[in-house]
Structure 1
Amino acid sequence: MATIKSPVVLVLLYIYMAATVAQLQRFEHPVKSDGSLSFLVVGDWGRRGLYNQSNVAYQMGNVGERMDVNFIISTGDNFYDNGLIDEDDPAFFESFTAVYTAPSLQKQWYSVLGNHDYRGNVLAQFSPVLTQRDSKWLCLRSFILHAGHVDFFFVDTTPFQDKYFTEIDQEYDWRDILPRENYLSDLLKDVDAALQKSSAKWKIVVGHHTIFSAGHHGNTEELVDKLLPILEANDVNLYINGHDHCLEHISSLNSRLQFLTSGGGSKAWRGAIKPFNLDEMKFYYDGQGFMAVEITEIEAYVAFYDIFGNMLHKWSSYESTHSAW
């Protein structure tokens, strides 16, 4: 088990091992002295500051300072339109280092890959060269993060989608993924086993793709069929994703599971809203923004913010019961 002390040391020691071993690599992140944890979530952001990415970053810095966040989570599509070319791609500096400059954002970033990242050189985002260039960067396919009362399970969701393997107008970097059936089978077994083993008060799963959404992409049926049953069987609290360029909160009617979309890091899709069950749909915003989360042993707080720093929606949960914050 690795304890995070220096982000540079962490990545240099574990990055390639985490990308290649069959079982999920496990990391630890320290929490506040009172045992609480706070973090920000942003997705679908990497556009060299354009499409309000810089404005989102500015407000993240403000909220991050007020909350004294422990770290930041990226839900993928880190670099548009086609990931990184290699470790020397200037997009890394222009879309990441030069944008997220606030002091409060100079914390560890935990990132997963999105489908646009798979259109580039996937291995470049895993490279320790990037972490030497910017010590807060960490991106892996799938891994576990333990922080206080919370276990996070980061899941590589792009290989689940059938359409990416049949598209003729896009190329994807499937190195270490093929044969796909074996990769997905092993990943699902690893996630299920890790969730079963977890004794954390709170279990949070992070992926790029939606499970349920009223946004442009809508539901991801492959995840509904393959991943969702595992999350429900293991009493997961939150599923956090990007992919749809919006902010969204959907509440399951069948379990404690909450579906939280934070894909408003840059370009948004105004008006891209599909009909959805209003008993489940708690919040939808078709603009840019991000999500903030605070967790103690007995309570979790979630808030969504827009590019002006306005809190658009808030929600809280006491362990297994849900209530309005």
Structure 2
Amino acid sequence: MKMFSVRLIFLILCIFFDGSLSKLERLEHPVTKSDGSLNILVVGDWGRQGCFNQSLVAHQMGIVGEQLDIDYVISVGDNFYDDGLKGDTDPAFEASFSHIYTHPSLQKQWYSVLGNHDYRGNVSAQLSHVLTQKDWRWFCRRSFVLCSGMVELFFVDTNPFVEQYFTDPEDHTYDWSNVLPRDRYISNLLHDLDLAMKKSRATWKFVVGHHGIKTAGEHGVTQELVDQLLPILEENKVDVYMNGHDHCLQHIGSDGGIQFLTSGGGSKAWRGVILPWDPKELKLYYDGQGFMSLHITHSQAKFIYYDISGNVLHQFTLSK
């Protein structure tokens, strides 16, 4: 009987502490348009207190957001440069977010993942409800699932996958609290993600991360994601993977396969670097600032890339 009690306590502790037994947080963003459609803006690598043309990109986002009557905004990470937030009272939150994205059309929910620069600060601060109390639009988690009518978006924390951040941190300090041991964190995340995708009955499955799986940008392919995450996306027939990290706008894809979309032009860009890539797959590479919009219906998903002046650089449509 005593041995049974010990085992029971051990099981309870395992359930409490082992993330593999917990499910990804699921949120629901209600569909409000009568035809069931969704309009979304996607931006990344932006948080520079208005500098490096962040304010100009924000202005165009507001114009396009009004034209499309957007439902919400997705941020693909690197929300606050150079080293994330110092804490939940850091004035950089207002200076880079609340005071920049002021257009009425952008007063919608923002769903965000963390980038590598965010991990150089206090990660818990960005995840804190204190920020939501300061600005109700802000929602950031490491990984979660967002359900919106016919689409499910799987937000993935890609930072712990990158070996370099642990073995060669380039003189940067990363906040790995609540991530270590790394192998268990990654294993639990992949397990939960695969399970959530297999349970999904959504017409469209989109995945949001910070690091690129396929990219001709300066940072190049994140091999750890190719090896560990991509097989799960392919097995579960994901339609789109969206990321930032490379400060450009990019579309890589092939007919019938996953479309890899980069929207990392929220502020500092113009790196002057493009790595070799198959021109049949590289549909767009714009080494500059801008953002992307999504218009989603039950039968079609339309993607449009805009530059800093609001000009359309590229667009394409997927059909079901």
Within 5 A, what are the aligned runs for 1:201-240?
201-240=203-242
Task: Check whether the contact 1:49–1:94 (CA below 8 A) recurs between aligned residues.
Answer: yes
Higher CA-based Rg:
2
Retained in 1: the 8 A contact 2:218–2:271? Answer: no
1:251-282 CA distance string (max 9 Å, x none): 046x5210000000000033111110011100
The aligned residue for residue 79 of structure 2 is: 78
Counterpart position of 1:7: none
Please give the alpha-carbon distance, in whole angstroms, between the structure 2 residues aligned to 1:21 and 1:89: 34
4+ aligned runs moved over 2 Å, structure 1: 19-22
Unaligned runs of 5+ in 1: 1-18, 320-325
* Paired residue type of 1:195: M
Q: State the distance in 1 between where 2:178 and 2:271 align.
A: 36
- Asked whether 1:292 is paired with 2:293, we answer yes
Summarize the alignment of residues 1-325 of structure 1 with structure 2, pairs less than 5 Å apart: 22-31=22-31, 32-166=33-167, 167=169, 169-252=171-254, 255-319=256-320
User: How many Å separate the matches in 1 of 2:119 and 2:138?
Assistant: 18
Distance in 1 between the 2:159 and 2:129 partners?
23
* One-letter identity of the residue aligned with 2:139: L
Letter in 1 for 2:64: V
- Matched residues, percent identical? 62
Separation in structure 1 between the aligned mates of residue 147 and residue 216 of structure 2, nearest angstrom:
31
How far 1:240 moved relative to its partner?
A: 0.4
* C-alpha separation in 2, matches of 1:147 and 1:168: 39
Shift, 1:34, TM fit: 1.0
| SS class of match (1:138) | strand
The Cα of 1:21 is off from its aligned counterpart by: 8.3
Measure, in 2, the Cα distance between the counterparts of 1:153 and 1:310.
Answer: 29
Count residues in correspondence. 300
Which structure 2 residue ranges, 5 or more long, are not aligned? 1-18
> Once the two structures are superposed, what CA deviation does each residue of 1:44-97 show, in whole Å capped at 9, x if it has no partner?
000000001000000000000000000000000000000000011010000000
C-alpha separation in 2, matches of 1:22 and 1:103: 38
**Cα deviation code 1:261-320 (max 9, x no counterpart):** 00000000331111100111000100000000000000000000011010000000112x
Distance 2:316 2:254 in 1: 14
Name the CA distance, whole Å, in 2 between partners of 1:20 and 1:90: 36
SS of alignment partner, residue 291 of structure 1? strand
Amino acid paired to 1:30: P
